[in-house]
Amino acid sequence: MDFALSDEHLMVQKMVRDFAAREIAPTIKEHDRAQQFDRSILPKMAAQGILGICIPVRYGGAGMDYISLGLACEELEYVDTANRVIMSVHAGLNSLTLLQWGTEEQKQKYLVPQAMGDKIATYGLTEPAAGSDAVGIQSTARREGDHYVLNGEKMWISLADVADNFLVFAWTDMEKKRARDHTGITAFIVERGWPGLETGTIHGKLGVRAGNTGSISFSDVPVPAENVLGREGEGFYIAMSALDNGRFTVAWGAAGLIRACLDASVRYAKERKTFGVEIGRHQLVQQLIAFMQMKYDAAQLLCLRAAWLKNQGVRNTRETALAKWYATVGSFEAAADAVEVHGAYGYSDEYDVERFLRNSKGAVIYEGSQEIQQLMQAQYALGYRKDKPLRCELPAYDAAVWQEE
């Protein structure tokens, strides 16, 4: 096996690393303290091709592979989680889902401007009373002639107040809703500005304070029938396939956060002295740093395996879920240890590790909590869970095709 990154991968890695250091790092503490999303970062990311990094050129993207998407997420979260979240919802949960399930007309109308960064997109599955229990959503859409009438509420939606396009899930079969039969759920592409759609911002979050998180309400929103993504009743499968892509970006981002904690701890351990020596000379500090290194290396390897499978067009639900579970739990533990290394200073936002710890907790919960990930891995191992073939699989990466204009 060849674990070396290609020249193209190294180019992407350096480009995003330099971009994050130049455009995000200087002001991130200010935006975090103000709990303010920096909207100006979106056109800057678009200009670099980051927002459509793994979308074929013919659909407005950069034509890079899934490893490139992962590397971009790692470098963004190395500086701050909020900017990786943009990639998770805009590129992972929404744009890649349109690439997988959309008609050619839908791709031209929605995917092209999203890949170019002219439009920003997000994903609406979670509701006030439905998170891990996706079948527990209460949103409904009834067919009336050539359109559907959408009602309901979504909660904890990243970019809710920023997005132009929303991928939304709702029940279209009320009998199946009562029976909790997931084949009664349908996916819809919804646009901001349609009558009855309103969004709001959630304040007071523990972490990702520099990111926009909010709610979406739908009150008799008319949705054209041609904006059904996939077929009526395929919504649950579409939602789960989207989560494969979202978890992939979260896993890579968490690996970047572990590396950020490791680098910050190494720097501080060489600067700070106690008992006449650098604290890096103390064995218990070395132990904390050693565990960070182990977690980063293992997380990156799990992420690379998932990315390689995606490039081959092989279903990677189990492998991606495992990477997401390990990397996010590892990032939370690494951030807590980084605060320990920094001592009292780690408890202050003078140092980045305080923000890293707050940010790391969210990823352990969203896009499949660690408990859900544990259950999934156990069910795969026991043979209770097996992936069914989807009507539309995420396409394998083919450089000749993806980079063709």
- 354/375 same-domain check: yes
Phi and psi, residue 102, nearest 5°: -75, 155
From 120, 151, 185, the end of a domain falls on: 120
Residue 177 lies in a domain: yes
| Residue-averaged pLDDT of the chain | 97
Whether 2 is in a domain gets the answer no
Does residue 241 sit in the same domain as residue 212? no
Please give the backbone phi and psi of residue 280, each rounded to the nearest 5 degrees, phi first.
-65, -15
Instruction: Please report which helix (H) or strand (E) contains residue 228, including its range.
Output: strand 228-229
Domain CATH for 330: 1.20.140.10
Number of domains, the chain: 3
Told to judge if 367 belongs to the known catalytic residues of this protein, a careful annotator would answer yes
The mean pLDDT value for 55-61 works out to 98
d(CA 125, CA 276): 55
pLDDT at residue 164 in the model? 98
Say if 405 falls within a structural domain: no
- So what's the pLDDT on residue 1? 67
Provide, rounded to the nearest whole percent, the portion of the chain with pLDDT above 70: 100
The per-residue pLDDT for 381 is 97
Verify that 383 and 359 share a domain, yes or no.
yes
Mean pLDDT to the nearest integer, 222-235: 98
Are residues 176 and 82 part of one domain?
A: no
Is the pLDDT at 298 greater than 70? The verdict is yes
Confidence category of residue 2, pLDDT binned at 50, 70, 90:
confident
For 239-297, how does the pLDDT look when each residue is reduced to its tens digit (9 = 90+)?
999 999 999 999 999 999 999 999 999 999 999 999 999 999 999 999 999 999 999 99
**Residue 230 sits in the same domain as residue 105:** no
Same domain flag for 243 and 383: yes
Asked whether residue 225 falls in the same domain as residue 250, the answer is: no
Distance CA 128, CA 112 (A): 32
Residues 185 and 214 in one domain: yes
Mean pLDDT of 350-361: 97
End position of a domain, from candidates 63, 92, 120: 120
| pTM recorded for the entire structure | 0.97
pLDDT tens sequence across 122-142: 999 999 999 899 999 999 999
- 317 and 202 in one domain? no
Nearest to 356 by CA among 210, 203, 214, 246: 210
- From the list 367, 371, 404, 405, the catalytic residue is 367
Q: Per-residue pLDDT for 36 more than 80?
A: yes
What is the pLDDT averaged over residues 344-368?
96
What CA–CA distances, in Å, run from 24 to 39, 41, 163?
A: 12, 8, 20
Model pLDDT for residues 153-198, shown as the tens digit of each residue: 999 999 999 999 999 999 999 999 999 999 999 999 999 999 999 9
pLDDT of residue 61: 98
Domain of 151: which CATH number? 2.40.110.10
pLDDT at 405 over 90: no
CATH number of the domain encompassing residue 45: 1.10.540.10
Domain boundary among 72, 89, 120: 120
Q: Do residue 212 and residue 320 come from a single domain?
A: no
Residue 136 falls inside a structural domain: yes
Say if residue 12 is in the same domain as residue 151. Answer: no
Domain that holds residue 290: 237-400
- Kindly state the tokens that stand for 131: 């998170």
- Same domain, yes or no: 132 and 110: no
